[in-house]
Structure 1
Amino acid sequence: MDGQGSGRPDDSQSGVHPDPAGPDGGVYEWYTRGLELLKGGSAAAAVQLLARAADAEPASRSIREALARAQFGARRFREAAENFRYIVEIDPAEDYALFGLGLSLSRLGDFRGAVEPLALAAAMRPENRDYAKALRHVRATLDARR
């Protein structure tokens, strides 16, 4: 999965001080380091930092998206689906979160549940081949199982 986020949390640290038992820095440093780890192929390590950032700033959609991407990459599909669903509930027009939710559900074997978010994402961004391909795959799997 490729990131579509802005690359910066949508809320500030707002006075959060780092936990001495945790990683160095604050929320923004955890977030940026988590993104670097994710980009470098270390999804499981990214989950650790991004989960810490999400705990400190639970309303940040960009942190949640990065965490969901890392969870997906670490094959933690149920957790990824929960975080993508959180974003979609706040902003139903967030096509990338719909795509991530649909992919996560399909990896969990919930192909019926995956159809709607993937169809919505594909309808919102018809030029996105990844969205259309994922939707075709889920529909073909459902057809083959009938």
Structure 2
Amino acid sequence: MAERDERVDDGAGGGADAGGGGMAPSGQQQRSGEPEGDVYEWFRRGARLLAQGNPAAAEQLLARAAEAEPGSRSIREALARAQFDAGSYAAALENFRTVALADPSDDYAQFGWGVAAARLGDFEASAEHLALAVAMRPENDHYRVALRQTRATLAARTGAFGPLLPGAPGYLEPPAGADGPGPGTTAGPEPTGDRDRHDG
């Protein structure tokens, strides 16, 4: 998934990026099973793990941070990125959706919602949210490429490019015993003139 530009736009008064309010002091004793540090430290460590290519470990820390600061859009977005990179597309979609609904002008949340929907096979929703992201930031290549791919998939599904030929991605062999050959297949030798005469 494309990296988001780093920015501080939490909007959750005292969230992770705001660096205050509602967070436990660093030296405070942790509840059993909690990672060391406060919510801001969990967020920073989770973001670092994600940047280092460890999305599963990042997801664990960021999920703790999101549980502690549920209104923080920055934490929830980082969690969604970790979930997406770890292959948890449904969870990523829910978190991107939450961020996008809280701030519909958040182009990256719209992009994340779109690519997660595509991974789940919902190309109609994917096209809608990717188009919003492209409208907000038309210069972003990642957004434009993702939208082009989703629209191509939708077009292919409606047959806009003609029937799929054997060997093409998505081509399904006709079931055994189907009436007649599928597109681009043969059902054996062509009938001869003698056979046509015997049948008629």
Q: CA RMSD in A?
A: 1.5
SS at match of 1:38: helix
Identity rate of aligned residues, in percent? 54
User: Counting helix residues as a fraction of each chain, which structure ranks higher?
Assistant: 1
Q: 2: distance between equivalents of 1:122 and 1:15?
A: 36
Q: Deviations over 1:39-76 (max 9, x none)?
A: 00000000000000000000000000100000000010
Match of 1:3 in 2: 4
SS at match of 1:19: coil
Matched residue type, 2:60: Q
Once the 2 structures are TM-superposed, how far is the Cα of residue 21 of structure 1 from its aligned partner?
2.0
Moved over 6 A (4+): none
Q: 1: distance between equivalents of 2:130 and 2:4?
A: 16
Distance 1:81 1:5, change over 3 A: farther
Residues matched between the structures, number: 146
Q: How does 1:36-75 map to 2 (within 5 A)?
A: 36-75=48-87
TM-score (norm 2): 0.70
Residue 77 of structure 1 pairs with residue 98 of structure 2: no
Q: 2: distance between equivalents of 1:41 and 1:139?
A: 29
Match of 1:109 in 2: 121
- Unpaired runs of 5+ in structure 1? none
In our comparison, the structure showing a higher alpha carbon Rg is 2
Q: 2: distance between equivalents of 1:44 and 1:117?
A: 26
Q: How does 1:20-31 map to 2 (within 5 A)?
A: 20-31=32-43
Are the counterparts in 1 of residues 131 and 147 from structure 2 also a CA contact under 8 Å? Answer: yes
Match of 2:112 in 1: 100
SS at match of 1:113: helix
TM-score (norm 1): 0.94
Once the 2 structures are TM-superposed, how far is the Cα of residue 3 of structure 1 from its aligned partner?
2.4
- Unpaired runs of 5+ in structure 2? 11-15, 159-200
